[in-house]
Chains A and B, each alone.
Chain A
Amino acid sequence: MNRYKSLFTALAAVVLGLLAGAVFMALSGSNPVAGFYYLFRGGLMNLERIGNTLASATTLIFTGLAVAFSFKTGLFNIGASGQMLMGGLTATAIGLSVQMPRIVLLPLIVLAAASAGALWAAIPGFLKARFNVHEVVATIMMNWIAYWTVYYTIPAYFKGTFLETESRRIPALASFRAEWLTNIFRGSYINMGIFLAAAAVVVIAIILDKTTLGFELKAVGFNRHAAEYAGIHVPKNIVLSMSISGFLAGLAGATYYLGYAVNMQIGVVPSAGIDGIAVALLGANSPWGVAASSVFFGILHSGKGFMNAMTKVPPEIGDTIIAIIIYFAATGVLFTRLWERLTRKRSKEA
């Protein structure tokens, strides 16, 4: 029953978000039906578009899992953007400066980027565990420290050939794009990150549901004091949970900057870090739910350009819809109450 309730809440948020999107499309003088038709068509109409949708979903799966994992331990990792930036910076640095066979290089990049993300998240985790500093504030600060670190490091050491504001192009050797995969999907952005993301969904599901570690982490999330009374080392679990969360966000950085993109630009906070919150909320913090909602948001991301080309609707409608969905997911209690009222009535009749 609980699962239906969260599904109902998620669907209600999506429907209301799409409805609000329709209103804004109409306000901007376009036909909402045509707008949505081209939006979804743009995300799904051919193999290249589907590849792009999956490529967008790859990043969102990682950041969504990162946020969902921290939620399970009762922590709010709003710093996925910063952890993603640090993972991306580490990956870019290695990709641009280390020469070695690809079979060694790619795993090295993955591990280094994930560790950078984990370290960036472990700092707020430690501050929370040791000094009770609120992790939301600490991760926001860490985001901006990461932003400025990238802002000054890229031009200083990895400056692009033409522009000061981006790094050099990542060599094919260090890229997550694979020729055979790109060929199947007719030249889309899809990259091997999608396999990593799929593996991450399974591994996180197993950790949460089948291991002692997952049990302890969730216990801390449900009731910190009860967990402590049961002999669980709470501070250790807080740091560990944040580190795993950052590890996932670091993977998002590696696969985004070395797979989806071809270089790293400065002065941009990756929106996937914040979209991850929407993904996690909509997926009710379950790894499978995260995967499903990532694909949905992936369609919105890759379809908005096509919609903009075919209609007059500005592409920002995609992000507007996602933002409104978050708002309705946050106010989910409205729909939960509605669901309870509906089901109660039915059980009375029966």
Chain B
Amino acid sequence: MQTLALIFPYAVAFTVPLLAASLGGLFSERSGVVNIGLEGLMVSGSFTCAVVASRMETVLGPGHPGALWLGLGAAVVVGALFSLLHAFASISLKANQVISGTAINMIAGSLTVFLARTMTGSGNVRIVLGFIPSDIPVLSDIPILGALFFTKTYATTWLTAAILALAWFVIYKTPFGLRLRACGEHPQTADAAGINVYRMRYIAVSLSGALAGLAGGIILVTYSGEFNGSVAGLGFLALAALIFGQWNPLGILGATAFFGFAATIANVSQVIPQFSRIPGLLLKAFPYVVTLIALVLFSKSSQAPRAAGEPYDQGKR
């Protein structure tokens, strides 16, 4: 129990950006556009947040919440704008979505380091101080639950929780969500019903860019504190979580928490004796292996959006 309480905050901190990025992928894929550029969009968000927050820190003071929130806001905007490149290629030009997404990953990975080197000389951008985890008053006094969920939490965790609830509501309870899902299942029918498929897909892809950008920013202002040109494959882990969670917000919450704990246990297994007996490889490779297994098990009953990955061409039936 004590060990659990010890690693819980770390696991949550690791899960939160994963969840945000994965929800971004959810919007995009539900509209019918596969976005394997999540990794690159996260990198662009992390870079933007580092640049803006570190500049604002010199004005407002180290670790000033205003500087950090401005950084996160900029990450959201840049992520959304950057994802328009993917949207233009895969929606307007009907390009191969996987190649376009790969290009996004590569452009983000090299261009951000290029810009960082131009700005700072080294390829790294550092902020002085990130968010400081704090206890929620009253709620943190609840036995067990309070210690796990309401102590040492980041403000960004609650923001992401709100986004999760909102994403569920928007996708399943609003006309917008219904139209979005229709575009991903059968765009021809959606079009015949008067929905502008191209517009819906543009909105969905830029939402995915915004959320992936936010995710990259969250990594920076919570546990990393420094931009170094990558997010260590978290974008692909988010993609795995999207599939393992079967394209459903609550499934994604479960999948990201599952992956977050596995990764955290692998990271601390050197320090905590109970875990040192589990081979690190098993824990680290685990999310990808279970995703492959899930793909096989659900191959007959997959909840994947049926038109995901296919460009929509109005002229075709």
Contacts and interface: CB of A to CB of B under 8 A. Distances in A.
20 contacts: A24-B111, A28-B118, A127-B295, A137-B291, A138-B295, A140-B240, A141-B289, A142-B292, A144-B233, A148-B281, A149-B285, A274-B102, A274-B105, A316-B111, A317-B110, A324-B107, A326-B102, A326-B103, A329-B99, A330-B89
Nearest to B266: A148
Interface in A135-151: 136-138, 140-145, 147-149, 151
B96 A140 contact: no
Given A152-B284, A316-B110, A141 B292 contact: yes
A246 to B, nearest CB: 16
Interface in B267-296: 279-281, 284-285, 288-289, 291-292, 295-296
A319 B103 CA distance: 11
A320 B284 contact: no
B20 interface: no
Contacts of A136: 34, 36, 98
A144 B285 contact: yes
B110 A319 contact: yes
A281 interface: yes
B148 to A, nearest CB: 28
A330 B103 contact: yes
A130 to B, nearest CB: 8
Interface of A: 24, 27-29, 76, 78, 127, 131-134, 136-138, 140-145, 147-149, 151-153, 269, 274, 277-278, 281, 314, 316-320, 322-324, 326-327, 329-334
Given A140-B239, A149-B285, A28 B114 contact: yes
A75 B110 CA distance: 27
Contacts of B24: none
Given A127-B292, A151-B281, A320-B107, 19 more contacts: A78-B98, A78-B102, A134-B295, A137-B239, A137-B291, A138-B295, A141-B240, A152-B279, A152-B280, A153-B281, A269-B233, A277-B99, A314-B114, A317-B110, A319-B106, A324-B107, A327-B103, A329-B99, A331-B93
A323 B284 contact: no
Nearest to A153: B281
Given A24-B114, A78-B102, A149-B281, A330 B292 contact: no
Contacts of A143: 236
Contacts of A269: 233
Nearest to B99: A330
A320 B102 contact: no
Nearest to A76: B98
A140 B292 contact: no
Given A274-B102, A327-B103, A330-B95, A131 B295 contact: yes
Q: Which of A28, A133, A148, A332 has the most CB of B within 10 A?
A: A148
A314 B109 CA distance: 14
B100 A327 contact: yes
A153 B316 CA distance: 50
Contact of B93 (A29, A78, A319, A334): A334
A148 B103 contact: no
Contacts of B115: 28
Given A132-B299, A333-B94, A141 B111 contact: no
A17 B309 CA distance: 26
A320 B96 contact: no
Contact of A330 (B34, B96, B239, B296): B96
Given A140-B236, A145-B289, A277-B99, A133 B296 contact: yes
Contact of B113 (A29, A152, A277, A316): A316
B243 interface: yes
Interface residues of B, number: 46
B85 interface: yes
Contacts of A137: 239, 243, 291, 295
Contact of A317 (B114, B240, B285, B289): B114
B55 interface: no
Contacts of B95: 330-333
A95 B39 CA distance: 34
A96 B117 CA distance: 37
B234 to A, nearest CB: 11
B107 A327 contact: yes
Contact of B85 (A24, A142, A281, A327): A327
A37 to B, nearest CB: 19
Nearest to B232: A267
Contacts of B105: 274
Given A28-B118, A141-B288, A323-B111, A127 B296 contact: yes
A29 B118 CA distance: 9
A320 B104 CA distance: 11
Interface in B17-36: 34, 36
B142 to A, nearest CB: 37
A324 B74 CA distance: 23
B307 to A, nearest CB: 14
A104 B285 CA distance: 34
A6 to B, nearest CB: 15
Given A281-B99, A322-B106, A331-B93, A314 B284 contact: no
B107 to A, nearest CB: 4
B292 A144 contact: no
B284 A277 contact: no
A320 B103 CA distance: 10
Contacts of A76: 96, 98
Contacts of A27: 118
Contacts of A318: 110
A277 B102 contact: yes
B279 A320 contact: no
Nearest to A275: B106
A316 B114 CA distance: 5
A24 B102 CA distance: 20
Contacts of B236: 140, 143-144
Nearest to B95: A330
Nearest to B304: A134
A149 B279 CA distance: 11
Nearest to A322: B106
